[in-house]
Amino acid sequence: MQSRIIILGGSGLIGKRLARQLKHNGSDVIIFSRNPEKYSKLNPEYIHIKWDVGNHESWKDYIIDAFGIINLAGVSIGGKRWTKKYKQEILDSRLTSTNALVEEIIKSGSPPRVLINASGVDYYGNTGDIKVDESSPAGDGFLASVCRRWEEAAFKALPKTRVVAARMGLVLAPDALAIKRLLLPFKLFIGGPLGNGRQWFPWIHIDDVVEMCKWIIENPDINGPINFVSPYQVTMKQFAKTLGYTMHRPSILPLPEFLLRIAVGESAGMIVNSKRVVPGVALDNNFHFKYEVLEKALSNIIS
């Protein structure tokens, strides 16, 4: 594993797992965060640096000669109801951080060799039953627009470094908030598919997210957008059925789309919109998925 790797957003679900694995494999991990004092006490094995998009002096020198930067910054898209204000915060939190990093990468005389910038499969919009891969165009809708603009900001660093846009599906992990919300009704014996159940529901296990990031860092020919999803995708009905089977619970009580939209508002589109996403780049370049099959992935995180 290469030496110095910077993670922006290292206190989140993916960032914590990734930092631990990179450190284990011999990298010097530097975490950029708004509260380095707090996180240095929690994780003293990493270097913690103050992140401030308005003051680059505190962090800009650390990107010089760094091997790579992994940008996971951005407020949670499922953290609150999507008011006009919160939608702006979702967009701004991603663009301001990415623009600041790219500005310093372009200025640097010795820039990092790779920038892995988070994105999402919502880039494709609502695709129905049509399969989409990394060559497919951006779709319509709020999150599609956010992803497209986020990636455009990252790819401005291309003159100076290799850039990868990590288009992630739902990340399956025991401590993921979305997973806890999905598990709860099944624990109460009232689980079932969300929406009509026919929508494609792209997912990936947290271990494969970490391994794919490591794979990208180590392979200089990998660049551009990459779909972080399992090669064996399922519909929401299949997902719910497999989840129920894994938990030894029934999966017979669907939650209709109109009730879901009443409950969470516009963000229900993340669940009811169909995204039949194929990990074309990963498959074409022989990336090995540890968790290809949903039942195996769910059994792991539930156990």
What are the pLDDT digits (tens) for 191-212? 999 999 999 999 999 999 999 9
* Superfamily designation of domain 4-172+203-230+278-290: NAD(P)-binding Rossmann-like Domain (3.40.50.720)
The sign of the CA dihedral 132, 121, 297, 271 is negative
- pTM here? 0.95
* Residue with the two structure tokens 């009905």: 237
**Which pLDDT does position 2 carry in this prediction?**
60
Query: Rounded to an integer, what distance in angstroms lies between the CA atom of residue 105 and that of residue 111?
Result: 5
Q: Under 8 Å CB-to-CB from 139, ≥6 apart: which residues?
A: 123, 124, 125, 126, 127
Report which of 200, 240, 227 is spatially closest to residue 285, judged by C-alpha positions.
227
CA angle (12 as vertex; 9, 16 as ends), nearest 5: 95
18-74 tens-digit pLDDT: 999 999 999 999 999 999 999 888 889 999 999 999 999 999 999 999 999 999 999
Domain boundaries, the chain: 4-172+203-230+278-290
Query: Rounded to an integer, what distance in angstroms lies between the CA atom of residue 289 and that of residue 206?
Result: 11
**Which pLDDT does position 1 carry in this prediction?**
47
Report which of 210, 123, 133, 119 is spatially closest to residue 168, judged by C-alpha positions.
119
Query: Rounded to an integer, what distance in angstroms lies between the CA atom of residue 10 and that of residue 207?
Result: 16
135 in Cβ contact with 123 (< 8 Å):
no
